[in-house]
A and B are shown apart, each in its own frame.
Chain A
Amino acid sequence: MNNASTAPIIIIGNGIAGTTFARHFRKKSNHPLLLISDENESFFSRTALMYVFMGHLRWNDLEPYEDRFWADNQIGRIKGRVTEIMSTEQKIVLKDGQALPYKKLVLATGSIPRDMGLKGENSQGVFRLYHKQDLEALDRWCKGKKKSVIVGGGLIGVELAEMLRSRKMEVTYLVRESHFWANALCVEEAQLIANHLSDHQVDLRFNCTLKAIETDRNGELSGCTTQDDQHLECDTMGITIGVRPNVDFLKNAGLNIDKGVVVDEYLTTNIPHIYAIGDCAQIAHPLPHRNAIEAVWYAGRMMGETLAETLTNSPTPYRPGHWFNSAKFFDIEYQTYGEILPLPTKNEAHFLWQSPQENKSLRFAYEKDSKIFKGVSSLGLRLRHEVFDQWLEEKITMTSLLEQLEKANFDPEFSRRYEKQISAKWKEHPHQ
Chain B
Amino acid sequence: MERTPASIIQNYGQSLGLLLGGCGLLGLITPALVVEQPLPWTLGFSLFLMTAGVMLYSLSLYRGRLPGIKNNDVWIHPLTSRGWAGWLLASGLTVFYILIYFYPQHLGYHPEGNTGIVGLFDPLSVTLNGKPATQWFVYGLLYTLAIVVFGVKFIMKYQGQRYQIIRTLVLMFFQLGFAFFIPELLALLHPDTPYFAKDIKNMWPLNYYFFDQWHLKNMLNGGRLGLFFFLSGLAMTFLVSPFLTYRYGKRWYCSWVCGCGALAETAGDPFRQLSSKKISVWKLERWSIHVVLVLVVLSTISVIWSFLRKASPSAIINAEQFIFGVIGLLVVMLLILLFAFKNEMRTDARFTLISLGLLLLGLLLVRGWSGENNILFFSSYSFTKWYGFFIGAIFSGVLGVGFYPLLGSRVWCRFGCPMAAILGLQQRLFSRFRITTNGGQCISCGNCSAYCEMGIDVRAYAQRGQNIVRSSCVGCGICATVCPRGVLKLENGTISNRSITPSYPLGNTIDKQ
Contacts and interface: CB of A to CB of B under 8 A. Distances in A.
A16, A316, A331 interface centre (most CB from chain B within 10 Å)? A331
B194 interface: no
B3 A55 contact: yes
Can you list the 6 inter-chain pairs with the closest CB atoms, starting with the nearest? A331-B68, A48-B445, A382-B486, A55-B73, A414-B162, A56-B71
A61 B440 contact: no
Given A61-B449, A62-B446, A56 B69 contact: yes
A298 B440 contact: yes
A133 to B, nearest CB: 10
Given A55-B6, A57-B75, A382-B489, 10 more contacts: A48-B447, A54-B71, A56-B450, A64-B446, A135-B1, A200-B66, A319-B508, A321-B509, A389-B506, A412-B477
B484 interface: yes
Interface string B128-163: 000000000000000000000000000000000111
B279 A326 contact: no
A66 interface: yes
A200 B65 CA distance: 9
B113 interface: no
A324 B506 CA distance: 10
B1 A324 contact: no
A68 B489 CA distance: 30
Interface in A391-432: 410-416
Interface string B52-82: 0000000000000011110111111100000
A45 B483 CA distance: 14
Interface of B: 1, 3-4, 6, 66-69, 71-77, 161-163, 166, 278-279, 436, 438-441, 443-447, 449-450, 459-460, 463, 477, 480-482, 484-486, 489-491, 504-510, 512-513
Interface string A213-228: 0000000000000000
B69 to A, nearest CB: 7
A410 B482 CA distance: 14
A369 interface: no
A57 B447 contact: yes
A155 B416 CA distance: 45
A390 to B, nearest CB: 10
Contact of A302 (B1, B163, B508): B508
13 contacts: A45-B445, A55-B72, A56-B447, A57-B446, A57-B450, A136-B1, A166-B72, A301-B507, A324-B440, A326-B443, A328-B485, A412-B477, A412-B480
A200 B443 CA distance: 25
A331 B69 CA distance: 7
A190 interface: no
Given A48-B446, A59-B1, A64 B460 contact: yes
Contact of B490 (A301, A317, A413): A413
Contacts of A324: 440-441, 506-507
Contacts of B510: 305-306, 309, 316
Given A309-B510, A320-B507, A384 B438 contact: yes
A377 interface: no
B1 A328 contact: no
Contacts of B507: 298, 301-302, 320-322, 324, 385
Nearest to B80: A55
Main SS of the interface on chain B?
Answer: loop
B440 A51 contact: no
A266 B444 CA distance: 26
Nearest to B463: A64
Contacts of B463: 64
Contact of B508 (A51, A135, A320, A411): A320
A376 to B, nearest CB: 13
A330 B72 CA distance: 12
Nearest to B440: A385
A66 B6 CA distance: 28
Given A62-B445, A305-B508, A333 B3 contact: no
Contact of B166 (A302, A333, A389, A414): A414
Interface string A130-172: 0000011001000100000000000000000000001000000
B74 A48 contact: no
Contact of A335 (B75, B449, B450, B485): B485
A415 B162 CA distance: 6
Contacts of B77: 55
Contacts of B67: 331
Contacts of B443: 45, 47-48, 297, 326
Interface in A202-243: none
A251 interface: no
A410 B74 contact: no
Given A54-B72, A55-B72, A382-B489, A139 B1 contact: yes
A281 B510 CA distance: 19
A64 B508 contact: no
A321 B508 contact: yes
A383 to B, nearest CB: 7
A196 B75 CA distance: 26
A135 B2 CA distance: 11
A96 interface: no
A58, A59, A327, A383 interface centre (most CB from chain B within 10 Å)? A58
A200 B513 CA distance: 46
A321 B440 CA distance: 11
A47 B166 CA distance: 32
A320 B66 contact: no
A248 interface: no
Contact of B72 (A56, A333, A389): A56
A199 interface: yes
A386 interface: yes
A352 interface: no
Given A320-B508, A410-B438, A54 B73 contact: yes
Contacts of B486: 326, 333, 335, 382-383, 410
A55 B509 CA distance: 37
A410 to B, nearest CB: 5
B163 A412 contact: yes
B68, B440, B477 interface centre (most CB from chain A within 10 Å)? B440
A57, A196, A309, A383 interface centre (most CB from chain B within 10 Å)? A57
A4 B6 CA distance: 54
Contacts of A330: 66, 68
Contact of A45 (B1, B68, B446, B513): B446
B317 to A, nearest CB: 43
